[in-house]
Chain A
């Protein structure tokens, strides 16, 4: 995994290496058919979601989910953002959006800081027990979260922190630690040891070497880490559900409450608008980050 996690692999321009295409043969036609069919499978849900969100409920009841809206309306989006109901609380998904931002920003920053320091210490300093620490961290990334949940609930309750912002943010830091540590450790493993030794000869200590030599070189991996953590934490459902508390429910949890606990007839157009709104941040990250996102996948490959 270290080879695909190496940041250099993703940054060079890649060229298709497959067999050289012949002119238009049966195989070539088959290839494009396959591409067409799969592209429809992957795109259809996004298309349907968008179309549904611009229709009135009357039009939706007519029942062609693939049709373009006859009477284009933005009302479902306004309702989703400002008026959608979670139980008796009809303040829209904007509340969840704010909560998710408040949760995600500090969680991303702090977990990356922790991962960078750990990765640096593990990679260059290798103090006693470093391998044991790293092995447990990695195993921890794979353990089903259900095995951690209940004791954590008890600990946070005892500390009087259960269902607070501190609770959900620290949980994200704790469970982001394995991937972040791995990411930075592998990145620093690719930096020549001579550079580290030169800094040491010049008399720089642990923190000086980190802040003035290593950190300035870490921009690429920090970008990958931000993409990875922002997406993961924004998309989290389980931790938000258990630890965030009613006041801080992240957008994913609120979205599920809006859509799945509605009594009576459901407003599918509002549901779909709310769903797109929830997906918007990770989608924006994906579309703007391009190849960096793929590097994040390869690098964060140990994460479940």
Chain B
């Protein structure tokens, strides 16, 4: 420890220089640039003809954008709720000293290893009305059975939920199970002595204990919802009609297919602000407070 602190810090600063450059240019720089473009009249290439809030006004008078927002809210709420409920129930089921526990856990979690593209394509095939589940059940002697959600504009959004829940509820299960395994066994003994039924213990004692895991799961799943793009492209391509359009796809289409860069960057800025509005409070309460610095 003879070298002065200033000197030993130089090596660390040099080592962190690439990270600083990435943060400065690839993260902060690009986001600022995106926001700047959103205030210009850019079409297929960026022009710096500033038009104020015009792109935002245009965005919020675009039906397609409203439909995208509406869809992502329906998908988000259902996906989040069902994933949390099923994930929690699966974790509880796994915590009951069941037979084949390891195989069961493997079965629940494997979809999470697969990409959204693969998930979307599998379910596109399963839900195919001409040859998939619908046809199969009809052939089994239920000719009136109908399960054609994927081609119905009013139901297609729910097929995204089915596929999304299939892919992601294993994640919730894994997080919750880790939490359940950390619960003090004394709680169960005390509850048994007092004759409290197991479901009440789970609901009123265990769930509050699992709060950090639940928050983590909610944050993870919500970020997945905002980023939802691959799944939509693979499962429905946004259709039928505009019935499964989502904001991320709206941005991608306007950036790369429709040469509407100003509009696309305005839309991504709205997405960014929404995410930050949710994230920053969580970040402060849940993370920064507990986890500041490496070593004290």
Contacts and interface: CB of A to CB of B under 8 A. Distances in A.
B143 interface: no
Main secondary structure of the interface of B (DSSP, over half): helix
A144 interface: yes
Nearest to B105: A294
A31 interface: yes
Interface string B275-296: 1100100010011101111110
A12 to B, nearest CB: 10
Contacts of A142: 223, 275, 279
B295 A125 contact: no
Interface residues of B, number: 120
B18 to A, nearest CB: 7
A288 to B, nearest CB: 11
A127 B272 contact: no
A2 B117 contact: no
Nearest to A187: B294
Nearest to B124: A259
A138 B288 CA distance: 10
Nearest to A298: B178
Given A114-B19, A125-B12, A17 B113 contact: no
A127 B293 contact: no
A1 B1 contact: no
A234 B115 contact: yes
A42 B110 contact: yes
Contact of A46 (B23, B110, B265): B110
A197 B116 CA distance: 46
Contacts of B11: 125, 205-207
Interface stretch (B27-35, B51-59, B62-70, B146-154): B27-35
Interface in B102-124: 104, 106-118, 121-124
Contacts of B286: 1
A246 B1 CA distance: 54
Q: Is the interface of A mostly helix, strand, loop or mixed?
A: helix
A71 interface: no
B181 A238 contact: no
Given A42-B107, A124-B295, A146-B271, A34 B89 contact: yes
Contacts of B212: 1, 3-4
Interface in A51-95: 52, 60-61, 63-66
Interface in A262-290: 268, 271-272, 275, 278-279, 282-283, 285-287
Given A42-B111, A189-B294, A48 B126 contact: yes
B115 A252 contact: yes
A190 to B, nearest CB: 10
A151 B135 contact: no
A61 B135 CA distance: 10
A121 B198 contact: no
B9 A128 contact: yes
B16 A118 contact: yes
Interface string A25-47: 00000011011001101111110
B287 to A, nearest CB: 6
A101 interface: no
Contacts of B92: 18
A256 to B, nearest CB: 5
Contacts of A255: 117-118, 121
A253 to B, nearest CB: 8
Contacts of B242: none
A17 B11 CA distance: 48
Contact of B283 (A15, A139, A268): A139
A304 interface: yes
A114 B18 contact: yes
Contact of A41 (B114, B116, B133, B166): B166
Contacts of B160: none
A286 B110 contact: yes
Interface string A199-238: 0110001110000000000000000000000010011111
Nearest to A145: B227
A49 interface: yes
B86 A38 contact: yes
A223 to B, nearest CB: 16
Given A138-B283, A144-B271, A146-B251, A278 B115 contact: yes
A10 B12 CA distance: 31
Nearest to A36: B104
Interface in B181-205: 181-183, 185, 188, 191-192, 198, 201
Contacts of A148: 26-27, 30-31, 34
Contact of B136 (A66, A126, A145): A66
Given A31-B98, A149-B251, 16 more contacts: A18-B95, A41-B166, A48-B122, A65-B136, A121-B15, A128-B9, A131-B293, A139-B283, A144-B268, A147-B31, A147-B268, A149-B255, A150-B261, A151-B37, A256-B233, A304-B227
Interface of B: 1, 8-9, 11-13, 15-16, 18-20, 22-23, 25-31, 33-34, 37, 46, 86, 89-90, 92-98, 101, 104, 106-118, 121-126, 128, 130-133, 135-136, 139-140, 166, 170-171, 174-175, 178-183, 185, 188, 191-192, 198, 201, 212-213, 216, 220, 223-224, 226-227, 229-230, 233-234, 237, 248, 251-252, 255-256, 261, 264-265, 267-269, 271-272, 275-276, 279, 283, 286-288, 290-295
Q: Which 7 A-B pairs have the closest CB atoms?
A: A123-B294, A206-B11, A304-B223, A235-B115, A125-B12, A286-B113, A18-B95
